[in-house]
Amino acid sequence: MTLKRLILSVIALAVIVFGLIVTGIWGPSGHNPAPEQQVQTTQTPPGMSRGEYVAKMSDCTACHTTEKDKPFAGGLGMPLPIGTLYSTNITPDKETGIGNYSLDDFKRVLREGVRKDGGHLYPAMPYTEYTKLSDNDIAAMYDYFMNSVQPVKQANRPNDIPALLSMRWPLAIWNWMFHEQGAYQTQQDKGAEWNRGAYLVQGSTHCGTCHTPRGVAMQTTANDETETGFLSGADLAGWHAFNISNDNANGLGDWSNDEIVQYLKTGSVAGKAQAAGPMAEAVENSFRFLTDDDLNAIAVYLRSVPAVSEGSTSRYAQGEAVAQDLQLRGLPIETTREEMPGEYLYMANCSTCHDADGSGSPDGYYPSVYHNSVVGSEKSGNLIQVVLHGVKRDTNDGEVFMPAFGQHLSDDQIATLVNFLTDTYGQGNAQVEPQDVAELRATAE
């Protein structure tokens, strides 16, 4: 976005807001509900304090930890259209962290996106979702950050945003337009489990941050199941967070509750999907620590997210076993390399783990490449990413690891391989060019 366009959009936003206020259509939506209407905690796993559990399910680590031995010391760069924003030190260090935050300051930053010094935060910090956390859970998390997290003295990295654009007051206008503040309110006509799931999905686990499409001002276009398009899929940092609405073909409509729980807990459901990239990180740092009851509540709530259809083809129902070794048998290697480059690349790089016919290993550790949502999707970006970067995920049962092929294979070879895979084991409509691979290579950190 050019500077001129950005300034024009800020002015346009200001004019719209002014108009709405003058005509009395819009007013600040902030209100703090009575605590007794807020969802009560069901469970906390043994050996963990409530505060640590809330920090885990909210995945504060994802953005605030860059070095494993300095948890929560900040410094992660997040690219915005106007420059790079860095996450801050949220350890209890008094000089460089949040050691001087009172409980009220902490509540304000999570509910309103306003720092102790009064500065508005960029909504890259998901306070738009954390606002739904209950008073009790915020207090428990405050106690955890102040008393159990090690203080780390590390000054915040200044943002790489041009001075004129780094003014924070337009963010107040943004909040006024797009941020509905306040803790989650229990819906009396729904059961306890549904409410618990709604609280987790809309608030702390912030599925919508990645899975809900964003509008022109980067706001998520829906915040709960009553708004159209909630969790219907969105692009983020070179990945596509798939549609997980309740649609049978394109969402989770045909997944059982147990499969949803298993996916969130382990990152893998044989014959359906595995978690790579940002979803692998969310499983590793956050979802795998949730209790089975909480995960089940999430599955129950996801059922009520209205189906958004993108057509009738299911991602994970595509393809079947096709033996590549039989196709190549008896042919000289030069012939296969030149005339059947997809088969050749698959046999040379992938078949040792995913098997010559694509069926993976019997125990499911190596998944099949058919009945696999990444290969079966019409969008090939995630498949390119998986080949470029591999898969790495710590689970409760050990590490899941697929090597990265980015160094080893050229853009041209990856494009050929991806087109071959979707042709043979997916919907067969990928038309990936080497340029597409080069672009995704460049977006990786």
Q: Give, as ranges, the residues between 366 and 395 that touch ligand HEC (CB under 6 A).
A: 366-367, 369, 372-375, 382-383, 386-387, 391
Q: 186 or 281, CB closer to ligand HEC?
A: 281
Q: 20 or 392, CB closer to ligand HEC?
A: 392
Task: Pick the binder of ligand HEC from 39, 73, 114, 125 (CB under 6 A).
Answer: 125
> Does the protein bind ligand HEC through residue 80 (CB under 6 A)?
no
Write a three-state SS string for the chain: CCHHHHHHHHHHHHHHHHHHHHCCCCCCCCCCCCHHHCCCCCCCCCCCCHHHHHHHHCCCHHHHCCCCCCCCCCCCEEEECCEEEECCCCCCCCCCCCCCCCHHHHHHHHHHCECCCCCECCCCCCHHHHCCCCHHHHHHHHHHHHHCCCCCCCCCCCCECCHHHHCCHHHHHHHHHHCCCCCCCCCCCCCHHHHHHHHHHHHHCCHHHHHCCECCCCCECCCCCCCCCCCCCEEECCEEECCCCCCCCCCCCCCCHHHHHHHHHHCEECCCEECCHHHHHHHHHCHHHCCHHHHHHHHHHHCCCCCCCCCCCCCCCCCCCCCHHHHHCCCCHHHHHHHCHHHHHHHHHCHHHHCCCCCCCCCCCCCCCCCCHHHHCCCCHHHHHHHHHCEEEEECCEEEEECCCCCCCCHHHHHHHHHHHHHHHCCCCCCCCHHHHHHHHHHCC
Task: Pick the binder of ligand HEC from 39, 183, 297, 402 (CB under 6 A).
Answer: 402
Q: List binders of ligand HEC among 244-263 (CB under 6 A).
A: 244, 252, 263
Q: List binders of ligand HEC among 411-430 (CB under 6 A).
A: 421
| 49 alpha carbon, distance to own chain's centre | 25
> Does the protein bind ligand HEC through residue 59 (CB under 6 A)?
yes
Q: Which range, of 44-52, 147-155, 178-186, 234-242, touches ligand HEC by CB under 6 A?
A: 234-242
Q: 186 or 372, CB closer to ligand HEC?
A: 372
Q: 308 or 350, CB closer to ligand HEC?
A: 350
Task: Pick the binder of ligand HEC from 50, 70, 115, 337 (CB under 6 A).
Answer: 115
Residues 6 or more apart whose CB falls under 8 angstroms from that of 208 comprise 129, 201, 202, 220, 222, 223, 230, 231
Count how many residues are written for the chain: 445
Q: 186 or 345, CB closer to ligand HEC?
A: 345
> Does the protein bind ligand HEC through residue 217 (CB under 6 A)?
no
> Does the protein bind ligand HEC through residue 241 (CB under 6 A)?
yes
Task: Pick the binder of ligand HEC from 215, 401, 428, 443 (CB under 6 A).
Answer: 401
- Phi, psi angle pair for 134, to nearest 5°: -75, 160
> Does the protein bind ligand HEC through residue 87 (CB under 6 A)?
yes
Task: Pick the binder of ligand HEC from 230, 239, 289, 370 (CB under 6 A).
Answer: 239
Give the pair of three-digit tokens for residue 107. 């509540």
Closest distance between ligand HEC and the C-beta of residue 294, in Å? 10
Task: Pick the binder of ligand HEC from 315, 328, 388, 389 (CB under 6 A).
Answer: 315
> Does the protein bind ligand HEC through residue 116 (CB under 6 A)?
yes
Closest distance between ligand HEC and the C-beta of residue 367, in Å? 5
Task: Pick the binder of ligand HEC from 51, 53, 56, 62 (CB under 6 A).
Answer: 62
Closest distance between ligand HEC and the C-beta of residue 411, in Å? 14
> Does the protein bind ligand HEC through residue 98 (CB under 6 A)?
yes
| 52 alpha carbon, distance to own chain's centre | 20
Give the pair of three-digit tokens for residue 425. 């084991």
> Does the protein bind ligand HEC through residue 298 (CB under 6 A)?
yes
Query: How many CA atoms, within 13 angstroms, populate the side-chain half-sphere of residue 227?
Result: 11
Q: Which range, of 57-65, 172-180, 304-312, 331-339, touches ligand HEC by CB under 6 A?
A: 57-65
Task: Pick the binder of ligand HEC from 13, 20, 48, 124 (CB under 6 A).
Answer: 124
Q: List binders of ligand HEC among 29-48 (CB under 6 A).
A: none
Q: CA 370 to CA 360: how far, in whole Å?
A: 9
Q: Which range, of 176-184, 219-227, 240-248, 324-332, touches ligand HEC by CB under 6 A?
A: 240-248
Task: Pick the binder of ligand HEC from 126, 233, 238, 342 (CB under 6 A).
Answer: 126
Task: Pick the binder of ligand HEC from 88, 223, 262, 359 (CB under 6 A).
Answer: 88
Q: 87 or 324, CB closer to ligand HEC?
A: 87
Q: List binders of ligand HEC among 168-197 (CB under 6 A).
A: none
Q: Which of 47, 53, 129 is nearest to 294 (CA)?
A: 53
Closest distance between ligand HEC and the C-beta of residue 148, in Å? 13
> Does the protein bind ligand HEC through residue 58 (CB under 6 A)?
yes
